[in-house]
Amino acid sequence: MSKVAVVTGGSKGIGLATVSRLIDDGYIVYNLDISHSEVGHFIDCDVSNVDAVANVIANLGQQHQSIDVVVSNAGRHLSANIENTSEQMLDELFSLNVKGAFSLIKHALPFMKQNGGAIVLVASDQALIGKRNSFAYNLSKAALASMARTTALDYAEYNIRANAVCPGTIETPLYHAAIDSYCEKSGANKAEVHAEEEALQPLNRLGQATEVADYIGFLVSDKATFITGSLQVIDGGYTAQ
């Protein structure tokens, strides 16, 4: 019998690559997103709406009687320091990046307790280090890292593992949108900015979504049954500098 996996934000970037990887690994994969995708079982769901997430998870849990894997990936970036971050901007970012993960995990756990399972939160290298002009985003990713640790401790007795992956600079639509926004505001040349970003990495390139997805696939597999409560860095050596 196929295991059930739920991925949020699975229509683009790391989320899409993760959905594809889990399908290849034999899971029945549900993708909660507002952007349609033909990959996996798409469910139109605004992850920033806590009640909407709760309803979707309840329906899936009742349909399958269990949920085996949860990957909280939905999120967005915000370029701003603390002075340029309004309360509304902070609330909107946290509703998606943090409350979305909160609702997903909270409501999936009752369907994971019987058979155990694995939770992965897609955090960031910014859960470990600070970066300029990234106040709210940095804060939200640190919150996800904390969520992974506390959930791991609280639910270890049910053989439920929780970890966070902390990607560095990964070439995704989110990355390109952030670069485009920066270039629009500053007048910088995108090709030059992209080359500068690559040069900042010890491996002299950006990471790819499939590399992060492969890491997630490992963390939820039976090869990682003694890994829980950890922050797994996949950043090409950036935070080692």
Which SS3 state, helix, strand or coil, does residue 9 take? Answer: coil
Which two three-digit tokens encode residue 64?
Answer: 């399958």
CA atoms lying within 13 Å on the CB side of residue 127: 28
Let me know if 137 is a catalytic residue.
Answer: yes
Give the CA distances from residue 213 to residues 66, 96, 152, 176, 233, in Å, rounded to whole numbers and listed in that order.
23, 21, 21, 19, 13
Strand bridging mode 231-234 / 207-208: unpaired
The catalytic residue among 137, 175, 215, 238 is: 137
33: Cβ contacts below 8 Å, ≥ 6 apart: 8, 9, 10, 11, 15, 42, 43, 44, 45, 47, 74
Give the CA distances from residue 153 to residues 28, 121, 149, 222, in Å, rounded to whole numbers and listed in that order.
27, 15, 6, 19
Catalytic residues: 137
